[in-house]
Amino acid sequence: MSHRDDPPLPADDGDSAGAGLPAPDWRRNFHAVWPSLFATSMGLMAVLPMLPLYIEERFGITDAAELTFWAALIYGVAPLTAALVGPIWGALGDRVGKKPMAIRANVAIAITTAGMPFADAPVWLLLMRVVQGAFAGYVAPSMALVSQGAPRQLHGIVIARLQVAMAAGTFAGPFLGAELAHYFGRASIFWLTSIFTALAALQLALRVRDTPRVAPPEHSFLRGFFDGVGGLLGNRVFAWLLVLVVVLRLGQNMLEPFVALLVRELGAPAWVLPLSSSPAHAVDRTVGIAFGVLAISQVVFTPFWGRLADRYGPLRCLYALAVILSGVFAVTSFVTSTNEFLVLRGLAAATMAGSMTLAYAAVSKRVADSRRALAFSLVQSCMQLGFALGPQVGALVATAGSASADYRRPFLAAGGLCLLAAVGMFVLRRVRVRAVDESRAAD
C-alpha cells in the first residue's frame, strides 16, 4: 500500500481467525477495543509519571539515593512480573479466548490500583504492584482480538491505530493526574484510574466478539503452552527479534521513572510558572507536558510507522528507528534546561512511536492465527522485561560512584543499547526468513 493509502478499516478479505472458523467482525472489535485501550492507558499514565513524587510524599523519603531505589523498584516490578507471567496468559488466551484475558487484565488493574493508596509502607506498595503485574497485561489480548480477523496486509496500520488509542491515553493521563493531585491529592489519581479500567472491562464484556471454538483442545494446557512456545522460539528470526526487543526497550525506558525528578531538578520552564498556582504545581504540570509531548508524537507518528512497515517491512524500519533513537538519546545527555529536554523528548517520542507497532507487525505477518495471542504475549513480555529492567539499570547508572543521582548519565547508556539493537536488526535482516510456526499452523 502506498504512503497515501489509509483505508477506513476495509472489509475482511477472508483471512479468518482459524481454518474452518468464522472470523469475528474485526471492525466491530476494533471500535470496541480502541476506547478500552484509551481508558486504561489514560488511567495508568495518570498514576505512573507522578509515582516517584507520590512515594516521596506518602512515605516521607528525603534521601535521593533511597528515593531513586524505591521509585525504580516500584515502577519496574509490575512489568517484570507481567513479563514472566504474560506468556501463560497468552497461551490460555489461545485456548479459552482472547476476550476473557482482556477483561481479566482490566479488572485486575482496577482492583489493585484502588488498593494502592492504603499502602502504609513502600514494601506494601511494591507488593501491590507485583500482583498488578502478574494479573494485568491488557495490550497483547486486546491487539490479538482485533488482528485475529483483520486482513494480513493491513496488520501494520491496524495495530498502529490501536497504539494511537494508547498514545492518546498517554497524552491525557499525565495532565489529568497533575490536576487531580493539585486539587484533590495524589491518592485520588489511583481511585480514578480504577474507575477507568473497570469501565474498560465493561466495554469489552459488552461489545467484543471472540473467535468461537468448535472443539475442546486435545492436549493439556501445559503441554499446549510448552509446545506453542517451543514452536515459536524454534524460529531463529522470531527468537532473536525477542532478544532485540528487550535490548531496545531497555534503552527506551531507563529514565522513565525519574522524569519527574529530572524536571524538578531542571526547574519548571518560565512559560509554565504564570499558568500555575505554585512552583510545585508548575513542576507537576511540566511533568504532564513531558509525557504529553511523548503522547502527541505517538499519535502523529505511529500511523506513519505502520504505513512504513506495510511498505518497506517492519525489520528494516526497526533498524532505522534504533539508529535514530541512539543519536537522540546521546544528545539528550547534555541538556541544561527543561525546554531542551522537552524538545529532545519530542524527537525521541516520534521515533519510539514505532517500536511497538513494528515489533507486533513483524510477528503478526509470520505467525499462525491459532498461536497469535501466545506470540503477541511473548513480544509483550519482552517489552515488559525491558520496561522493568530499564529503570533498575538507569538507577545504577545515575547513582554510580556518587551519593547523589545524575539523571543525565543514563541517556548515554540508553543510546549505546539502542545502537546495539540497531546492529542486531541489521544482521537479522540478512537472515533468511521462514514463516514462524509454519509447520504448526494447522494444529
In a domain, 143, yes or no: yes
In a domain, 13, yes or no: no
> Quick one: cell of 173?
493521563
In a domain, 56, yes or no: yes
In a domain, 134, yes or no: yes
CA 383-386-391 angle, to 5 degrees, is: 135
CB 6 within 8 A of CB 158: no
Residue 4 predicted with pLDDT over 50: no
Residue 66 contacts by C-beta under 8 Å, 6 or more apart in sequence? none
pLDDT at 349: 87
> Quick one: cell of 143?
491487539
If one counts the domains in the chain, the total is 1
CATH label of the domain that carries residue 225: 1.20.1250.20
Neighbour-count burial of 270, counting CB atoms closer than 10 A to its CB (0-12 exposed, 13-18 middle, 19+ buried): exposed
In a domain, 3, yes or no: no
In a domain, 335, yes or no: yes
In a domain, 331, yes or no: yes
pLDDT at 258: 80
In a domain, 278, yes or no: yes
pLDDT at 220: 62
Measured CA to CA, the distance from residue 131 to residue 146 in angstroms comes to 27
| pTM of full prediction above 0.85 | no
Span 262-285, mean pLDDT?
88
Which structural domain range is residue 50 located in? 26-208+216-440
Q: How many other C-beta atoms can be found within 10 angstroms of the C-beta atom of residue 236?
A: 13
Residue located via cell numbers 476494533:
30
Measured CA to CA, the distance from residue 414 to residue 394 in angstroms comes to 8
The model's pLDDT over 303-355, given as tens digits with 9 standing for 90+, comes to: 888 888 878 888 888 889 999 999 999 998 888 899 999 999 989 988 988 88
The model's pLDDT over 363-388, given as tens digits with 9 standing for 90+, comes to: 776 666 666 767 877 887 888 888 88
Measured CA to CA, the distance from residue 327 to residue 316 in angstroms comes to 18
CA 229-231-316 angle, to 5 degrees, is: 90
The model's pLDDT over 109-141, given as tens digits with 9 standing for 90+, comes to: 999 999 999 999 999 999 999 999 898 878 878
